[in-house]
Amino acid sequence: MIRKSFVLIAALAAALSLFAGTASWAGQSLMMATTTSTDNTGLLDYLIPYFEKETGIELKWTATGTGKALKLGERCDVDVLLVHAPGAEKAYIKKGFGKDRKEIMYNDFVIIGPDSDPAGIKGKSISDALLAVKSKQAIFVSRGDDSGTNKKEKLLWKDAGISLPDKEKWYVQTGQGMLASINVCEERKGYTMTDRGTYIKYQSQKGGNAPLKVLVEGDQILLNQYSVLTLDPKNCPNAKYDLAMKYLNWMAGENAQNLVRDFRLLGKKLFIPNAK
């Protein structure tokens, strides 16, 4: 009786796993690793159905920080990347992991903080603002996850001539996504750097009456460029390079660029297309 029931269990398990396996196998599909900002803002949910309809290619994506996304590509676990860390991306291609890189769109980073602005950074240059935060020991929330945003933020500290305040009490490293970090920032009444798209999303969640306001913006260094990267077939012979190129070209094409331009929250543009 026991033996019979084990056979039954094994058969059931096999049948179930077969079922689960086939469900994810139909048709042409492309696997992408991307950053939390493109996913959390809803851009991909809005854009990708058009891609699937026009090309017949199913696109699945996993949203992580840029650091992990690049790693997934390096290990050939995905076919294509949509990321935002130009420096790291170029090094990635040099190392033989990436092949083509196409700039698709940008938005910019901003420093946000409470209306009361305890460190008085409003309207300052980015370097002066960070110096003020440091000297006032005001709470500064960092992603701390080696994402594209985090890479940029670390660059800003370096640019201001401040060594990364890694162990300082006022420097809060969340290790979480951008919106989660903004929420931490709101709770702690601190400052943080975010991409504008995610900030607008946060504003819309707060019904347009967000406690955190944009305090520093407009510096050239705050530009946030998103690019599609294909993987080098030499490193990843099994990655679907042809489909990845189709996706890259589609994203850079007129249709997708217009769609990106039309994507709005609270009447505000989140991304500005700039494929050349």
Partner 1 sequence: MDFLLSGFIKAIELLISGDSYTWSAVAATLKVSSISMLLSLGAGLPCGFILGYFNFRGKRALRTVLDTLLALPTVFIGLLVYAFISSKGPMGSFNLLFTLTGIAVGQTILAFPIVAAITASIIENIDPGLKLTLISLGAGKRNTILTCLWEVRYGILAAAVTAYGRVLTEVGISMMVGGNIKWHTRTMTTAIALETGKGMFSNGIALGLILILIAFTVNLSLSFLRKK
Q: How far apart are CA 20 and CA 33, in angstroms?
A: 22
Out of 19, 56, 167, 169, point to the residue binding partner 1 (CB under 8 A).
19
Q: Sign of dihedral through CA atoms 17, 20, 24, 25?
A: positive
- Strands, E assignment, the chain: 29-35, 58-64, 80-83, 98-114, 140-142, 171-173, 191-195, 212-216, 223-231, 264-265, 268-269, 272-273
Cβ atoms within 10 Å of 235's Cβ, excluding its own:
16
Out of 85, 179, 228, 244, point to the residue binding partner 1 (CB under 8 A).
179
- Contacting range for partner 1; rule: CB under 8 A; set: 16-24, 80-88, 92-100, 222-230: 16-24
Residue 77 lies near partner 1 (rule: CB under 8 A): yes
Tell the smallest beta-carbon distance from residue 121 to partner 1 (Å): 24
- Contacting range for partner 1; rule: CB under 8 A; set: 56-64, 97-105, 248-256, 264-272: 56-64
Out of 176, 192, 227, 230, point to the residue binding partner 1 (CB under 8 A).
176
Q: How far apart are CA 79 and CA 236, in angstroms?
A: 9
Residue 182 lies near partner 1 (rule: CB under 8 A): yes
Q: How far apart are CA 150 and CA 99, in angstroms?
A: 24
- Contacting range for partner 1; rule: CB under 8 A; set: 107-115, 116-124, 152-160, 171-179: 171-179
**What residue type is assigned to position 27 of the chain?**
G
Judged by beta carbon, residue 105 or residue 182, the one nearer partner 1 is 182
Out of 43, 212, 236, 270, point to the residue binding partner 1 (CB under 8 A).
236
Tell the smallest beta-carbon distance from residue 110 to partner 1 (Å): 17
Residue 229 lies near partner 1 (rule: CB under 8 A): no
Residue 12 lies near partner 1 (rule: CB under 8 A): yes
Do residues 153 and 192 touch, judged by C-beta distance below 8 A?
no
Tell the smallest beta-carbon distance from residue 2 to partner 1 (Å): 7
Residue 188 lies near partner 1 (rule: CB under 8 A): no
Out of 9, 91, 164, 221, point to the residue binding partner 1 (CB under 8 A).
9
Residue 172 lies near partner 1 (rule: CB under 8 A): no
Question: 75-110: string of b/e by CB count within 10 Å (b at 16+)?
Answer: eeebbbbbbbbbebbeebbeeebbbbbbbbbbbbbb
Q: How far apart are CA 192 and CA 141, in angstroms?
A: 5
Q: How many residues bind partner 1 (CB under 8 A)?
A: 36
Tell the smallest beta-carbon distance from residue 34 to partner 1 (Å): 11
| Alpha-helical runs (H) found in 56-103 | 66-74, 86-94
Residue 62 lies near partner 1 (rule: CB under 8 A): yes
Phi, psi for residue 35 in degrees, rounded to 5: -95, 160
Residue 1 lies near partner 1 (rule: CB under 8 A): yes
User: In the 8-state DSSP scheme, what is residue 213?
Assistant: E
Q: How far apart are CA 24 and CA 34, in angstroms?
A: 20
Q: Which residues bind partner 1 (CB under 8 A)?
A: 1-2, 6, 9-10, 12-13, 16-17, 19-21, 23-24, 31, 36, 40, 45, 60-63, 75-77, 176-177, 179-180, 182-183, 201-202, 205, 236, 238
